[in-house]
Amino acid sequence: MNTIPTAYRHLLETIASKSHQFSGKQLVAFHPMRGPGEAVDTMYIGRALNGWHWEFTVKELQQDLEGHLQRILEDKHVAVAHKDRLDWVEKYWQNSSSGYNTAKSQFWQVIRQISRERNQAGEQWWDDIVWTNFFKIAPAKMNPTGKMVKVMGQASHELLLAEIAHYQPRNIVCLSGLNYAAHLLASANATIKIPYDGSVLEYVGDVSWAEGEVVRLIVAPHPQSRSATKIAEEVKSLLKNRK
């Protein structure tokens, strides 16, 4: 299994070698963010970044691929402490000043509600979670196009598997819809589908990849324009119990 840096380098090399689908676009890059807890209970997977605090072009990537890789791996958002890369979500909750208000994000509404209700005494709600995306490279303010996905899809998938192997979550929640999560599910070595009585979720099962441990995989639709509370309630009821 590749390490995250190795898999990320391969993704950037793939994009740089087939650059025509990315030319003329300002791109953003994402690295997983986790709370400061000792172990990861739940990994949340979104689609792609909408925007970020720095952008680049594919030409700039070609000129300095290693420099871009290091910046991505060591990325420090102004809102993100080095050892606690998720506290910015709470910091910007109900943010009334100019800028991003995380409370308006249905994506974060779902995650925060689930995590707060699973908290143990003395924990911050984000302590034992990690956030990642199916596609780490995307055009600023939009999801990757179909042609971009065709170029980087397999490399992006290999990077996601490297992240799962590295963080070893007990649960994975895809807040993306099954169309984004289908390749992840299809690549599993073993799957046991779990029946449930809800009406929102698109897949629930116990899944393993390569030599990894069995993970509870839950696929929900993207929360935008949906009831964040309903999604959170159904997901929470099906997660593995906290250790």
DSSP line for 174-216: EET-HHHHHHHHHT-SEEEE-----SS-SEEEEEE-TTPPPEE
Q: What is the pLDDT of residues 115-142, one digit of tens each?
A: 999 988 889 999 999 999 999 999 998 8
Torsions phi, psi of 27, nearest 5?
A: -110, 155
- pLDDT (0 to 100) of residue 235: 98
CATH topology of domain 4-238: Uracil-DNA Glycosylase, subunit E (3.40.470)
Beta bridge pairs of residue 137: 29
- pLDDT (0 to 100) of residue 122: 85
- pLDDT (0 to 100) of residue 80: 55
Say if CB 141 and CB 51 are below 8 A apart: yes
3-state secondary structure of 105: coil
| Domain coordinates in residue numbering, the chain | 4-238
Q: What angle do CA 32, 38, 44 make, to 5 degrees?
A: 35
- pLDDT (0 to 100) of residue 125: 96
Q: Which residues of the chain have pLDDT under 70?
A: 1, 76-84, 98
Beta bridge pairs of residue 131: 33, 44
Q: What is the pLDDT of residues 79-115, one digit of tens each?
A: 555 556 788 899 889 877 767 789 999 999 999 999 9
- pLDDT (0 to 100) of residue 76: 60
